[in-house]
Structure 1
Amino acid sequence: MRFTRFACFDWSGAAAERPAGIALAVAGSEGPPRLVERRWSRPDALAWLRDVAGAGEPMLIGIDFSPALPFVDAGCYFPGWSRTPPDAVGLWALVEAMSADDPHLGIASFLCDAQVARYFRQHGSRLGDRFGERGGGRLRIVERRTPGAASCFNLVGASQVGKASLTGMRLLHALRGTLPIWPFDPLPPRGPVLVEIYTTIAARAAGIAPGRSKVRDTDALRLGLARLGSPDHPPLARYDDHATDAILTAAWLRTVAHDAALWAPAALTPAIAATEGWTFGVP
């Protein structure tokens, strides 16, 4: 194992300066994972990640959003639009360019664009005519292999992940060239790496049953950590599923980071790596 610390950001796309849904936990090579207790903004998270990149510490950082939209199913992100980008790096740049004036790494301007809106389901019964034939929206290849995964083109409902993912793309654009982002960048021999994670995978590994993937009390969190072979956590001022997701997933990353198979999924081709990316932990 080349990593010495492990971190997880639970992410949020909420239109707020400091969304309640952002949480960060960090674990060392041993000992308990610890929550970094503060009210985060997305720019705060960007600054923290830039500091890690600048220090060059061998840290594996998981972040809970989809880094790209579906591409493989239609051969592009936005069928029928001349501005559709050729790869994920281009997609990040497009979202950034169309949202550059939005504060807090927001994406309201991007979603308000008349052409972009055709591909999304948004609040107020606004269903774009190019949303897709699937009732729930288009999925990436890795999402088809992940039970419970949702389409980033759906922006409605408690389980929607699109807004978090689109704000996350602004974060990835800002980090480009400073922090390797797997699998868009190859796994470097040293230093920090950022990967997409799905906190439900960590919850399952911690023995939390389907339908009960959210932990909101100290006893359940203690039990989940024990099942991951981790020492107990320091007590929290407040237990919510954002904090516990981050803590459990940081502990889980520590247990699986050495697994070579997770860095080379059989279905992950170079084309998928460049356009859709992959969720770390999905075989």
Structure 2
Amino acid sequence: MSGPNGILLVDKPADWTSHDVVARVRRIAGTRKVGHAGTLDPMATGVLVLGLGPSTRLLTYVVGSDKEYLATIRLGASTTTDDAEGETLGWAPAERVRAITPERLADAVTHLTGELDQVPSSVSAVKVDGKRSYARVRAGEQVELKPRRVTVSAFDVLDSREASVGDAIALDVDVRVVCSSGTYVRALARDLGVALLTGGHLTALRRTRVGPFAAADARPLDDLDVASALLRPASAASALFPALQLTEGQATDLGHGKRIAVGAADAETMAAVAPDGRLVGLASVKGGRARTIVNFPAEPEQTGTPEEETR
């Protein structure tokens, strides 16, 4: 009997690591073959894209998708982690925080929109000489990461309000961010604080979209029914790429690695779908001929037996 096969959208709760979610889904679905496309920090919530069975092959194509976030940035203090989980490095004077006008805020946000050379947070998962940066920081090492080119397509201020934190004053700013893969929203919070001379860090982060997959379609972990929640491989692939509808003969030939004649326009990647709705694979089309990039096994899609588990 084959195991579960498809894409699962989970609404990750706060205080769970992405690995925690994968481990739980493995137990629920009764399979070890579960992977995710893009880590979410423990404090973050929102859509986490998981691949089960052969559909883990699709995760490579999900990882590079753009992402959308809703976040709250607290201006007034920096932290060691650029978010609320880190140690506060000191507070800016109240008058400096209150001097942040809507116009100054909008101007600083504009300068952090578009193509940027962003330095990742030191506690990120970026590897330095084969070891995760966050592991080096936690070991007491001083880490300096190189900037990387990212794109922030949208950085919208939704709301702002003054907040009292003990004896200090902060400005909490709710934002919406649409960005390329590899962008750190924590780093945007840090850099916004630097630009406004107040320091800044994240206090809330929710991922609302990964490529075509929205948090509105994600399932909570509580009472998760994997069988009903799984997106079939063909549906998931067709959300990522244009669909190439095949005849039975074309599906057989393409599945055997043959180049086939098709009526589709040139495309770097298409989701090749058999008449019965099965995902044959991902294919490229050039000059009226399609060739396979990744094949998918022609096996029945069944779910494993759910198991009772605890976290």
TM-score normalized by the length of structure 1: 0.28
Q: Flag the structure with higher strand content.
A: 2
Greater C-alpha radius of gyration? 2
TM-score normalized by the length of structure 2: 0.26
Instruction: Compare relative contact order (CA 8 Å, sep 6+) and give the higher one, 1 or 2.
Output: 1
Q: Flag the structure with higher helix content.
A: 1
